[in-house]
């Protein structure tokens, strides 16, 4: 079992739908990151969380430390949101562990 599990692996939705991507982890962490990878490989950081909730535009990220779970939400999804979304954790023993990513496709 991977130490960082994401679900779903693939998600196709219509423009405007509310999107949720989940990340569960099994190690103690100091921080959790959500990243966005566009076709062609470019990766950008969306959020870093150690507790609670963060919001940036149409993106919301939450984390529940006790349940070792984080979610990334996209409101009013748009085709330009189509990308791979990656959850990564920084473990307490200072390792970086990535999930396999969720491939999101938003249809116009």
Partner 1 sequence: GAGVSQSPSNKVTEKGKDVELRCDPISGHTALYWYRQRLGQGLEFLIYFQGNSAPDKSGLPSDRFSAERTGESVSTLTIQRTQQEDSAVYLCASSSGVRFSLGTQYFGPGTRLTVL
C-beta of 44 vs 67, nearer to partner 1:
44
C-beta of 101: minimal distance to partner 1 in Å?
A: 7
Q: What is the Cα 71 distance to its own chain's centre?
A: 6
Is residue 68 a contact point for partner 1 (CB under 8 A)? no
What is the pattern of x (binds partner 1, CB under 8 A) and - over residues 3-42?
Answer: -x--------------------------x-x-x----xxx
Q: Contact, 30 vs 91, CB < 8 A?
A: yes
Query: Which region, left, alpha or beta, applies to residue 46 given φ > 0 means left and ψ of -120 to 50 means alpha?
Result: alpha
- Max Cα distance, the chain (Å): 43
Question: What are the helix (H) ranges across 24-69?
Answer: none
* Closest distance to partner 1 from the beta carbon of 6 (Å): 8
Would you tell me which residues interact with partner 1 (CB under 8 A)?
A: 2, 4, 31, 33, 35, 40-45, 47-48, 86, 88, 90, 94-101
């Amino acid at each position: 079992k991977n130490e960082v599990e994401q679900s779903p692996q693939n998600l196709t939705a219509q423009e405007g739908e509310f999107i949720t991507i989940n990340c569960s982890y099994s190690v103690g962490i100091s921080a959790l990151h959500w990243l966005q990878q566009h076709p062609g490989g470019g990766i950008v950081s969306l959020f870093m969380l150690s507790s609670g909730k963060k919001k940036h535009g149409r993106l919301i990220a939450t984390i529940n430390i006790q349940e070792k779970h984080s979610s990334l939400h996209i409101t009013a999804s748009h085709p330009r949101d189509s990308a791979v979304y990656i959850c990564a954790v920084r473990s307490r023993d200072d390792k970086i562990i990535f999930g396999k990513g969720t491939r999101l496709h938003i249809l116009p």
